[in-house]
Amino acid sequence: MKKTKIINYILLLLFFIFIGISFLINFDKGEKTGSAFLSVLFEILKILPCAFILIGLFEVWIKKETVIHHLGENSGIKGYIWVLLLAGFSVGGLFVAFPLAETLSKKGASLKIIFTYLGFVDIFRIPMTIFEISFLGLPFTAVRLLITVPLFLLAGIFLGTVLKKRNYRLKEERE
């Protein structure tokens, strides 16, 4: 076993020991940390199984050629429109976006498109945007989107371009 994996397991064990001891001695901050951890864990467990099934179906049903055509290096502006739409209808935030980004990469999507998609998932999910409008108003949300969408688009293009020049590739094999 690699040294980093052993360290990760030790840190995870220490975290659970800390939470357990916090509940035993009524340490408020530890109890709150444990409660927050369980809350997030249960939220993730509600979303991830369905998301992974959909990502699996995407891997099987969508041909590599289709992804390359619509999201590949030569997709142009339509690739960015596709990922804006994909991000808008995404659920689960980055928990789902990262596995889907890996699938898109395996199927031949451009790094520029993938980084842009990850940024758009953070700022442009339609349900969250509607929620934001209801609390902060349409003018605020419109200004935020007019500023952040181009910024994340430029950031995705920049990151993809720089990493492509450095011949960056995602790991093909998991350890």
Closest CA to 32 of 14, 13, 18: 18
Residue at 57 is within a domain: no
In the chain, how many domains are there?
2
Q: Are residues 69 and 40 in the same domain?
A: no
- Average per-residue pLDDT for the chain: 90
Residue 92 banded pLDDT, cuts 50, 70, 90? confident
Query: Is residue 120 within 8 Å of 154, Cβ to Cβ?
Result: no
Q: Please tell me the distance from the alpha carbon of residue 45 to that of residue 170, in angstroms, as a whole number.
A: 26
Q: Are residues 158 and 79 in the same domain?
A: yes
pLDDT of residue 96: 86
Residue at 116 is within a domain: yes
Q: From residue 112, how far is each of 74, 80, 107, 135, 161 by CA, in Å?
A: 11, 9, 14, 33, 7
Residue at 56 is within a domain: no
Residue at 54 is within a domain: no
Residue at 53 is within a domain: no
Q: Are residues 95 and 24 in the same domain?
A: no
Q: Are residues 118 and 158 in the same domain?
A: yes
